Amino acid sequence: MFDSSRAPLGHEVADREARRARRLESIYHVGQARIWDGREVLADLVKQHGKPRLPDRERRALSRIFSIIMWGELAAWKISAQLTDQLVELEPKLAAASQVHDEARHFYVMHDYLALLGHAPPPMDFWSRRVVEMTLGTDNLTKKLLGMQLTIETIALTLFQHVRELRVEPVLADLLPYYERDEARHVGLGTQLVPALMAEMSIPEKIGIALFQLELLASSVFSLKAMEPDLLTIGVDPRDILAIGFRKQMEIHKSMREDFPAWPDDPPVNKLFHGLCELLFPSSGQGVKVPAATRVANAMAVVRRTREGVLEIAERERASA
Ligand SMILES: [Fe+2]
Ligand SMILES: [Fe+2]
């Protein structure tokens, strides 16, 4: 006999699934509606501001940082093509397919911009390469989405926002909003799929995912450390990058919790990552010498949440500003 007690729950799940499918499909359609011609946009910006011009030291630093972005875009192009192939349902497949087209454009436009800046792009540093290779190399769909949609996209968005706000170079500053719009849409594929995939997992599988994520985040923060001298040259404080990145991560987690209330608020991976950031970028600030033992003790206190981390300090400063 029909079990009416199960019907509302069944409906709820079906509704949620249908809503998610519509959102995923709209990633493709919005992408189509907001598509931009990379050659036209770059040419117009050069016409408006003139060829990018910077003092030599800044020019080299900016080129090195955005070369990492250019190779990152190439990796994102490959990873989204893998996702297009790997995803079975049509709505997420559409979303990934539109991302492939976007990332291809991001790659060639960044390549052309760097050529205008006049500095041959060096290869990626060890840690940045590690982040993209881990994501490219895994066959696990959840790990791939975590790496691409929720980590690489967030890093790119964070750097783009800050470099745009500081107007380090006008052509780039006006080019980056086009990138940001696309990358923000790409995050959607991860926020829609990852919590559902994780909900189906056993505890050992979840631990495997958490370890992968921790290694990925640690590699990203080491790559930020490697980039530190260049960032400082163009006037970017890496701690500001961390604060913006954490805020973006918080927004992503909040949006995932709206659909999946069981999604953890402050998972252990988060705590460990915030501790590592304190270790590498001490809150005492740029150029202040902190003894190694104090650094470790402070980092441990951040992990235990008995000491404010980068995000809490930035939020407090923002509130009092
Ligand atoms: Fe991109
Ligand atoms: Fe992207």
Q: Is 175 exposed, middle or buried (0-12, 13-18, 19+ CB in 10 A)?
A: buried
CA of 153 to the centre of ligand 1 (A): 7
pLDDT the model gives residue 287: 67
pLDDT the model gives residue 120: 84
Contacts of 45 (CB under 8 A, 6+ apart): 170, 171, 174, 175
* Greatest mean pLDDT among 6-15, 215-224, 256-265: 215-224
- Residue 109: give the domain boundaries: 18-204
* Ligand whose nearest atom lies closest to the CA of 189: 2
- More confident call, 296 vs 264: 296
CA of 65 to the centre of ligand 2 (A): 17
Average pLDDT, the chain: 88
Q: With a cut of 50, say whether residue 4 has pLDDT above it.
A: no
pLDDT the model gives residue 10: 64
pLDDT the model gives residue 6: 46
CA of 257 to the centre of ligand 2 (A): 22
Query: What is the mean pLDDT of the segment spanning 202-228?
Result: 89
Among 144, 220, 159, CA closest to 189: 144
Establish if 2 belongs to a structural domain.
no
pLDDT the model gives residue 77: 97
Query: What is the mean pLDDT of the segment spanning 224-252?
Result: 88
Q: How far apart are the first and last CA of the chain?
A: 64
169 pLDDT band, cuts 50/70/90, is very high
Q: With a cut of 60, say whether residue 266 has pLDDT above it.
A: yes
Establish if 200 belongs to a structural domain.
yes
* Ligand whose nearest atom lies closest to the CA of 73: 1
- Write the DSSP symbol of residue 146: I
Over the stretch 278-290, which tens digit does the pLDDT of each residue have? 888 888 776 677 8
pLDDT the model gives residue 7: 46
CA of 183 to the centre of ligand 2 (A): 4
CA of 186 to the centre of ligand 2 (A): 5
* Ligand whose nearest atom lies closest to the CA of 106: 1
CA of 50 to the centre of ligand 1 (A): 24
pLDDT the model gives residue 181: 96
Query: What is the mean pLDDT of the segment spanning 229-234?
Result: 94
Establish if 220 belongs to a structural domain.
no
CA of 60 to the centre of ligand 2 (A): 25
* Ligand whose nearest atom lies closest to the CA of 188: 2
Establish if 260 belongs to a structural domain.
no
* Ligand whose nearest atom lies closest to the CA of 83: 2
* Greatest mean pLDDT among 8-17, 249-258, 270-279: 270-279
CA of 168 to the centre of ligand 2 (A): 22
Establish if 181 belongs to a structural domain.
yes
Contacts of 308 (CB under 8 A, 6+ apart): 283, 302, 316
CA of 306 to the centre of ligand 2 (A): 36
Give the domain CATH number at 127: 1.10.620.20
CA of 103 to the centre of ligand 1 (A): 5
Query: What is the mean pLDDT of the segment spanning 175-199?
Result: 93
Query: What is the mean pLDDT of the segment spanning 217-234?
Result: 92
Distance, in Å, from the CA atom of 119 to the CA atom of 139, rounded to the nearest integer, reads 35
CA of 320 to the centre of ligand 1 (A): 34
Neighbours of 72 (CB within 10 A): 25
For residues 118 and 58, the answer to whether their CB atoms sit within 8 Å is no
pLDDT the model gives residue 172: 97
pLDDT the model gives residue 9: 54
Over the stretch 80-128, which tens digit does the pLDDT of each residue have? 999 999 999 999 999 999 999 999 999 999 999 999 999 788 889 999 9
CA of 74 to the centre of ligand 1 (A): 8
Ligand 1 ion local residues (Cβ < 5 A): 73, 76, 103, 106
CA of 6 to the centre of ligand 2 (A): 40
For residues 274 and 311, the answer to whether their CB atoms sit within 8 Å is yes
The residue behind tokens 């994501």 is 135
For residues 154 and 245, the answer to whether their CB atoms sit within 8 Å is yes
pLDDT the model gives residue 32: 94
Q: Give the chain's domain count.
A: 1
Query: What is the mean pLDDT of the segment spanning 306-313?
Result: 83
Establish if 30 belongs to a structural domain.
yes
DSSP string, 192-253: HHHHHHHHT--HHHHHHHHHHHHHHHHHHHHHHHHHHHHHHHTT--HHHHHHHHHHHHHHHH
CA of 30 to the centre of ligand 1 (A): 16
CA of 73 to the centre of ligand 1 (A): 5
CA of 93 to the centre of ligand 1 (A): 17
Establish if 55 belongs to a structural domain.
yes
Establish if 161 belongs to a structural domain.
yes
Whole-Å CA distances, 269 to 8, 46, 221, 244, 253: 35, 43, 14, 18, 13
Q: With a cut of 60, say whether residue 176 has pLDDT above it.
A: yes
Q: With a cut of 60, say whether residue 129 has pLDDT above it.
A: yes
* Greatest mean pLDDT among 129-138, 213-222, 250-259: 129-138
